[in-house]
Amino acid sequence: MDYESSGVSIDAGNETVRRIKRLARGTFTPGVLSEIGSFGGLFHLAHAGLRDPVLVASADGVGTKLNVAFLANRHDTVGADLVNHCVNDILVQGAAPLFFLDYLATGRLSPAVAEQVVSGMARACRENGCALLGGETAEMPGFYADGEYDLAGFIVGAVDRARVIDGRSLVAGDVLIGLPSTGLHTNGYSLARRIVFDTLGLTVDSLLPGLGVSVAEALLATHRSYLAALRPLIDRQIVKGLAHITGGGITENLPRILPDGIGAEIRRGAWPVPALFTLLQDAGGVAHDEMYRAFNMGIGMIVACAVADAETVLATLRSAGEDRAVVIGRTGQGDKRVVYI
């Protein structure tokens, strides 16, 4: 017996690394001191350009959005989803991304599929000024079915200690501004897939009723990064808090930045809920409260600021192309809960 006969191809692994090296090198920034293939990635923190740097790290996955990628046989978007999600998770504390690591596990390794996945990561890393520093590709026959894989990402960024954003300065009466999402991002897919594929009986190639796009187009829309839009605000130090609206929706994520004694009121009619969410709610008979806990409902990031800074924040966002940024609510006295009005 040999390794190949047990389902693991060392040759496929080597070919995958060869393809990934080219993609990763295209993301390298001046701080990178190592090559892909080393046991560990090296990064010189001096290139972060900070006086009193604080490292900010996060890890996440893409969830069951991967099942849609499998069905559509399209793998060039989920890597970008992963990077952008992780970038947003550290951005809310004011951090700029330094480097990213990935973990790709599969039943039978396909260098072509792995290359597509990593190409999405590399594209998003370049767009966010973040180095794809390394990662791991694991072939695990019998653990994952052929044609399936799982994906996880690990990001490290940095922020000057004096500029960490943590929501502690929030008080009753502060303004909450919502930035639009690009679809479901990477959350709520277990419910969305059940509605679309089981209740509606659609396939990835079907047109979604009333939307004019295919299921694959709608459900594989890339989770966007908010780095470019928010960087000018962070640099001006007029942001009190930032909430990335991921799993749990506004209901569960906004309280993560609220200090003790502060709650939030969100006006449901303050922004147009995209048609995709309305379709899912109507077809699945999903209650309003459940929709706002399972999905982002068209708001992917919330900016909290003082009333006196609200117009400046909105003007700065719109100058960065965020024309649909809108005031969606206010903070108030409360116990870290979101109330919808």
Q: CATH 3.30.1330.10 region(s) of the chain?
A: 4-163
* Contact criterion met (CB below 8 Å) for 150 and 105: yes
Residue-level pLDDT, tens digit, the chain, 341 residues: 766 766 777 888 888 888 889 999 999 999 999 998 889 999 999 988 899 999 999 999 999 999 999 999 999 999 999 999 999 999 999 999 999 999 999 999 999 999 999 999 999 999 999 999 999 999 999 999 988 999 999 999 999 999 999 999 999 999 999 999 999 999 999 999 999 999 999 999 999 999 999 999 999 999 999 999 999 999 999 999 999 999 999 999 999 999 999 999 999 999 999 999 999 999 999 999 999 999 999 999 999 999 999 999 999 999 999 999 999 999 999 999 999 99
Q: Report how far residue 137's alpha carbon sits from residue 141's, in angstroms, rounded to the nearest whole number.
A: 13
* Contact criterion met (CB below 8 Å) for 264 and 338: yes
274-322 pLDDT tens trace: 999 999 999 999 999 999 999 999 999 999 999 999 999 999 999 999 9
Output the pLDDT for position 17.
Answer: 85
Output the pLDDT for position 2.
Answer: 67
Confirm whether pTM is higher than 0.85.
Answer: yes
* Secondary structure, 3-state, the chain: CCCHHHCCCHHHHHHHHHHHHHHHHCCCCCCECCCCCCCCCCECHHHHCCCCEEEEEEEEECCCHHHHHHHHCCCCCHHHHHHHHHHHHHHCCCCEEEEEEEEEEECCCCHHHHHHHHHHHHHHHHHCCCEEEEEEEEECECCECCCCEEEEEEEEEEEEHHHCCCCCCCCCCCEEEEEECCCCCCCCHHHHHHHHHHHCCCCCCCECCCCCCEHHHHHCCCCCCCHHHHHHHHHHCCCCEEEECCCCHHHHHHHHHCCCCEEEEECHHHCCCCHHHHHHHHHHCCCHHHHHHHCCCCEEEEEEECHHHHHHHHHHHHHCCCCCCEEEEEEEECCCCEEEC
Which tokens sit at 188? 């709520």
Output the pLDDT for position 184.
Answer: 98
List the one residue out of 155, 338, 339 whose CA is nearest residue 257: 338
List the one residue out of 182, 142, 42 whose CA is nearest residue 99: 42
| Torsion, CA 50, CA 55, CA 61, CA 62, rounded to 10 | -20
Q: Which CATH architecture has domain 4-163?
A: 2-Layer Sandwich (3.30)
Q: CATH 3.90.650.10 region(s) of the chain?
A: 175-340
* Contact criterion met (CB below 8 Å) for 191 and 68: no
Output the pLDDT for position 5.
Answer: 67
Q: Which CATH architecture has domain 175-340?
A: Alpha-Beta Complex (3.90)
Q: Report how far residue 233's alpha carbon sits from residue 276's, in angstroms, rounded to the nearest whole number.
A: 30
128-138 pLDDT tens trace: 999 999 999 99
